[in-house]
Amino acid sequence: MEDIRLLGRILGDVIREQEGKAGFELIERVRQLSVAYRLKNDASAGRALDRLLKNLSADQTVSVIRAFSYFSHLANIAEDRHHVRRRLHHEQLGHLQEGSLALTFERLHRADIRAADVARTLARAYISPVLTAHPTEVQRTSILDAERAIAELVGLRDDLHGDRERRDNEALICARITQLWQTRMLRYTKLTVADEIENALSYYQSTFLRQIPKLYAEIEQQLAGHAVPSFLRMGQWIGGDRDGNPNVGAETLRTAMARQGEVALRFYLTEVHSLGAELSISQMLAGMTPAMQALADASPDLNPHREDEPYRRALIGIYARLAATLLALTGTEALRHAVSPQNAYTAPAQLLADLTVIADSLRSHHAQALVAPRLAPLMRAVQVFGFHLATLDLRQSSDKHEAVLAELLRAARLHDDYSALDEMGRRTLLMRLLDDARPLRVHGAQYSELAQRELAVFETAREMLARYGREALRHCIISHTESVSDLLELLLLLKECDLVSGPNGGALRAGARSALIVVPLFETIADLRQAEPIMREFYALPGIADLVLRSGGEQDIMLGYSDSNKDGGFFTSNWELYRAELALVELFGPLRTQTDGSPGITLRLFHGRGGTVGRGGGPSY
């Protein structure tokens, strides 16, 4: 409550200064009447409030809306800080918070589940929070940055000593609230896809790049002595989700990947530069491993002042290679160039190998303490984010795939009206074409804008995979999946763009592999009920299970929370989601292991949960 009162008082002071006494008193009058009506059931206050609001001018209305909106934002900041304090208080008393990692591991311990078993489970796990584009829910970055600054200042107040420090802190909060008041809450122009990409990337820069390595460190502490694989990674739809957005295409996919790569690489460059300042170790005072000596000797740094500082020389060489990688992948320059750019890293594993050499040398020469603060989090970040930052998913509606394929078949004179075929007729035709080595496109034929755009996306995806690696693009999601042919249509389009290929040309022949996982999205109540029958019939088709096995043995299935909520309501949606999950798990049970005992096909469920309850949101625990 103290934080809410503080922020409310400062907001009131800012409004009085910015809007004048009359403007402040109007807002205060609205607040008092609202409290009397809502909390005290004062009917006369309700009538007075109704009259007051109806007689506001346009400018007064905007001022009132902004005041109450910002008070809600500030109250959220105070509430978040309260949760932090409460968690710390409970931890000091030995009470663990529901949903916390600490409580999870405590329950595992009480259940006699060993750390080794947890580590083995995590080695098979793949958890990926996914950011999607919802422009109506996205605040301006300027607002978010100011509110983050206020949250940090409020958090600092617990450790302040003396009236002067508290006054200085309060003055800084006042400055940020003044900034908020004089900043537009809404955009005057429509968000572009590039804007959406930048909004999402701001969360990586402010949170994910540093916090996810900390999360791994906490798990490693709980599983002391056991390696923790990088099972938690980030996913993204922005730039690849074409369903309902005609502005998303090949160029946005290319832009998204380049900007993601740039954010990851610039973070590594900053951390390597800071690491170079920290690792000032002299070889006159401490030894090093032969591998560390070789890494330092390979550095282009010839500054005589660092001749006895092998770690700094090595890190300058790593920085130069990262700068070259940044230029090669994104076309942008690093901020610093201590030496001329060197040969670029061709894969994150090469960067990780160099950092591992440094870590091993420090550990073997009594400098273990220098690994944990920055080097270990950087190594984990490279494992998690690579050069791609987040896995970018492709998504399109099944009817668009169908329209493109129908056009290709018509131009190739393979079928004049594919859409008129019944389901079995479609399956028969699609299976035959998947097994055919010949492409569908006819040289010189004129295709519609839709067909050209869709095929360009897949061809760009192939280019991005070659540039950024396997983790850059993993999933191709089919919205409104209603039949087996919906999955086969996408497979055939991927084959047309060499994303499904093999030595014999056919997608279903020995050696063929798919570069992307075909992911059906079951959204409505009816779709959820058909999820298991559709996947059972899909895997009963000859060659499909073998293709998935050769391609990595992973089958993702997305379950839609938002549309099923709209379709059947909250309770029915959750019940049908639960039933669909059970049925799918049972279906894929026998496929998990091959007849020779080797690993089979892994089922992964992609839960399309939104933020609000109506979109499936709420505490996941």
Task: List pLDDT tens digits, range 398-452.
Answer: 999 999 999 999 999 999 999 999 999 999 999 999 999 999 999 999 999 999 9
Residue 61 lies in a domain: no
Same domain for 380 and 407? no
Q: Which of 83, 109, 134, 607 is catalytic?
A: 134
Sign for the CA dihedral angle at 416, 418, 423, 425 comes to positive
134 as an active site residue: the answer is yes
Does position 196 have pLDDT exceeding 70, yes or no?
yes
Residue 421 lies in a domain: yes
* pLDDT value of residue 621: 62
Same domain for 398 and 361? no
* pLDDT value of residue 490: 98
Mean pLDDT computed over 284-294: 95
Does position 620 have pLDDT exceeding 70, yes or no?
no
* pLDDT value of residue 562: 87
Helix, strand, coil percent content, the chain, rounded in steps of 5: 65, 5, 30
Residue 213 lies in a domain: no
- Looking at mean pLDDT, say which of 9-18, 100-109, 612-621 comes out highest: 9-18
* pLDDT value of residue 305: 87
Name the residue among 215, 200, 366 with its Cα closest to residue 287: 366
Does position 504 have pLDDT exceeding 90, yes or no?
no
- Looking at mean pLDDT, say which of 40-44, 82-86, 386-390 comes out highest: 386-390
* Lowest-confidence segment of 128-142, 161-175, 239-253 by average pLDDT: 128-142
| 3-state DSSP assignment of residue 406 | helix
Q: What's the residue count for the chain?
A: 621
Residue 518 lies in a domain: yes
Residue 133 lies in a domain: no
Does position 83 have pLDDT exceeding 60, yes or no?
yes
- 89 contacts: CB under 8 Å, gap ≥ 6: none
Same domain for 374 and 398? no
Same domain for 339 and 431? no
% of the chain at pLDDT higher than 90: 79
Confidence of residue 535 (pLDDT cuts 50, 70, 90): very high
* pLDDT value of residue 134: 65
* pLDDT value of residue 179: 96
Tokens of 382: 């490279």
Does position 137 have pLDDT exceeding 90, yes or no?
no
Same domain for 489 and 555? yes
- 10 contacts: CB under 8 Å, gap ≥ 6: 170, 173, 174, 177
Is residue 521 a contact partner of residue 480, using CB atoms and an 8 Å limit?
A: yes
54 as an active site residue: the answer is no
Mean pLDDT computed over 291-315: 93
Q: Which of 326, 359, 385 is the last residue of a domain?
A: 385
Residue 84 lies in a domain: no
Residue 102 lies in a domain: no
Range of the domain at 605: 393-615
Residue 375 lies in a domain: yes
The 3-state secondary structure of 345-404, one letter per residue: CCCHHHHHHHHHHHHHHHHHCCCHHHHHHHHHHHHHHHHHHCCCCCEECEEEEHHHHHHH
- Distance separating the N- and C-terminal Cα atoms of the chain: 27
Domain holding 284: CATH number? 1.20.1440.90
State the chain's mean pLDDT as an integer: 93
* pLDDT value of residue 615: 74
Does position 172 have pLDDT exceeding 60, yes or no?
yes
Same domain for 501 and 401? yes
Same domain for 318 and 372? yes
- 497 contacts: CB under 8 Å, gap ≥ 6: 455, 458, 459, 461, 462
% of the chain at pLDDT higher than 70: 99
Same domain for 421 and 371? no
Task: List pLDDT tens digits, range 26-78.
Answer: 999 999 999 999 988 999 999 999 999 999 999 999 999 999 999 999 999 99
Is residue 411 a contact partner of residue 467, using CB atoms and an 8 Å limit?
A: no
Q: Which of 335, 361, 385 is the last residue of a domain?
A: 385
Confidence of residue 237 (pLDDT cuts 50, 70, 90): very high
Is residue 527 a contact partner of residue 560, using CB atoms and an 8 Å limit?
A: yes
Same domain for 597 and 448? yes
* Lowest-confidence segment of 245-249, 507-511, 617-621 by average pLDDT: 617-621
Same domain for 486 and 595? yes
**Distance (Å, whole) CA 408 – CA 441:** 6
Mean pLDDT computed over 246-264: 97
Mean pLDDT computed over 107-112: 94
Q: Which of 350, 368, 385 is the last residue of a domain?
A: 385
* pLDDT value of residue 191: 81
**Distance (Å, whole) CA 130 – CA 360:** 34
* pLDDT value of residue 17: 95
* pLDDT value of residue 381: 98
Which residue has better confidence, 619 or 332?
Answer: 332
Same domain for 470 and 598? yes
C-alpha dihedral, 124 to 126 to 127 to 132, nearest 10°: -170
Number of domains in the chain: 2
Same domain for 411 and 515? yes
